[in-house]
Amino acid sequence: MKRRFGNIIALCLAVALLYGMQHSKPHYMDLTGPIPVYGKMHETVRARLFNVTVDDVAFARELTVEGFGTSKTLTTSGVWVVVSAQLEATTASNVVAQASWVGPTGLQYDSSDRTGYVPGLPPHAIDPGLPKPARFVFETLPDQVSGATLILSNQLFPRLDSQVRIAIDRFKKFNDGQPLILDSFDIRRPMAVSGN
Amino acid sequence: MLSGVLKLGSKAIAWLTAGLGTVAALAVAIILGAFEATPDQQYPQYPNNETVDAGQWRIKPLSARITSKRAFGVSPKDGQRGVIFEAELTNLTARSSKDYYGVFHLPSLIDAQAEKPMIYMERDASLLPDLHPGMTEKMAYIWLVPANTAPSDTVELLVTAKTYKARDNLTGSPGWYNDHTAGIVRIPASTEAEEQ
């Protein structure tokens, strides 16, 4: 009788302990999630497999792209965001495939796939020692511009790998903080290279 | 043990056990939801040209038409008709998504004979683009169906929605799960005259 009672007490304790751990300990996805590398614009941010420097952010109502010899003009219900950056691999050639524009409230705008395959847009194949200009194109809403973060990683869902998070704070804006939105942006426009 | 208390014969005990067992099995089955799939549910009918929230998407059914001509990138073959359904879609989730692919379904009798739908953004006829949080876009769904099964004057579509779970059971990650039919759209369809 005493032994059975002891068993029941042990079982109850185990249930309580496991319940407490389930609610207080981080979950599997949190433990194996991306490892953030925070950075600012105009400085080199170092991830495990690539270094990135964001030079410029521009906003436009229309975007002109050229792929396979034809140019097309893309409209949007929000604004186009064009991020110009320098990418360089650290130790081995790899691909930076994932870019997202995360608004101040955490809404995540993945890089637009409406452009189709266009040279200079992701996925970016990069090599060590060969820095390369790279552009990222997003569609977002005008209220998702100020206080936004640019997120870059090699894979679509990085797990236990670095994820670059760059605060976007320097862009052409009016006195009230609203960004300057161009009528159109031509993706063929050459990039200003920083440091040269 | 029971026969000792109630002084019952072994036959009566056997009948009683079998009866109680059946009742218990039915009770467990009902609790586990084994009878939820019985087809006596009536789905709510969504009004046309009005916005309605269905899981991840805010939808606004706009129009439908049946055609034998080329529409967007899809040409019906001989003996086929294209069922074109237009709707406005708004992503209510926090991340860009192509999950609108499974939102609208033809009824299963037609769906079994139809080809998988092609979905285009009306803005620039791009195929299956990401839709970004809060950005409303007009989309066109195109199914190719055999001419004899094509709906004539009203297109009926089932609206599939998912429910949000803050943590899924396997990995603890947030997401949208559990497809279910949330409602039904009945929209008058115009038939485009066939060229002879």
Q: Determine the distance in angstroms separating the CA of B37 from the nearest CA of chain A, rounded to an integer.
A: 32
Q: Measured between CB atoms, does B127 come within 8 Å of chain A? A: no
DSSP string, chain B: -HHHHH---HHHHHHHHHHHHHHHHHHHHHHTTTTTT-S---PPEEPTTS-EEETTEEEEEEEEEEESS-BTTB---TTEEEEEEEEEEEE-SSB-B-GGGGTEE--HHHHTTSPPPEEEETTT--BS--B-BT--EEEEEEEEEEGGGS-SSEEEEEEEEEEEESS-TTT---EEEEEEEEEEEEEEEEEPPPP-
Cβ B141 vs Cβ B105: under 8 Å: no
Q: Quick one: pLDDT at residue B6? A: 60
CATH number assigned to the domain covering A33-186? 2.60.40.1240
* Cα dihedral: A39, A45, A48, A51 (round 10): 150
Rounded distance between C-alpha atoms, residue A130 and residue B88, angstroms: 45
Instruction: Identify which of B95, B132, B136 has the shortest CB distance to residue A139.
Output: B132
* Domains of chain A, residue spans: 33-186
Q: Does a cis peptide bond (omega within 30 degrees of 0) precede residue A123?
A: yes
Average pLDDT over residues B55-69: 94
pLDDT (average), residues B145-158: 91
Q: Which residue has the higher pLDDT, B193 or A58?
A: A58
Cβ distance B172 to A78 less than 8 Å, yes or no, reads no
Q: Where are the alpha helices (DSSP H) in chain A?
A: 2-24, 28-31
Give tens-digit pLDDT for B19-52: 999 999 989 888 887 666 666 578 899 999 999 9
Residue B104: what pLDDT? 95
pLDDT, mean of residues A122-151: 94
A28, A30, A108 ranked by CB distance to B94: nearest:
A108
Write out chain B residues lying below 8 Å of A72, CB-based.
124
CA distance A7 to A11: 6
